[in-house]
Amino acid sequence: MWLDVSMWTGLRGNFHPFMDIACESPDPPPADAGEWQQWAGSYLAAVAQREAWQAGRYAYRAERRDDGGHPVEVLTRGQWEWSPTTTPG
């Protein structure tokens, strides 16, 4: 599964592609979109902290992809605010 992440840029006034993150699907998988969003927020917080992302607004899409890298199922999508003091979840 993948988290497709875009970063907000104030100069352009929109999101632009930032990073694709390969990750293991949680076991057991979340039951609904709200749980998927909680999982994605926690996962993104861990990656952002580890890789020292700059503070700002990010958009994400959690998805399954085929062998060619094309999305076959979007599990959730949302926007997320990051700052180094953000707590996961």
Instruction: Encode pLDDT of 33-80 as tens digits.
Output: 889 999 999 999 999 999 999 999 999 999 999 999 999 999 999 999
Nearest to 26 by CA among 43, 14, 10: 43
Question: DSSP secondary structure string, the chain?
Answer: -EEEEEEEETTTTEEEEEEEEE-PPPSSPPSSHHHHHHHHHHHHHHHHHHHTPPSEEEEEEEEEE-TTS-EEEEEEEEEEEE-TTPPP-
pTM of the model: 0.84
| Rounded-to-10 torsion of CA 12, 17, 19, 23 | 130
Asked if residue 3 has pLDDT above 90, the reply is: yes
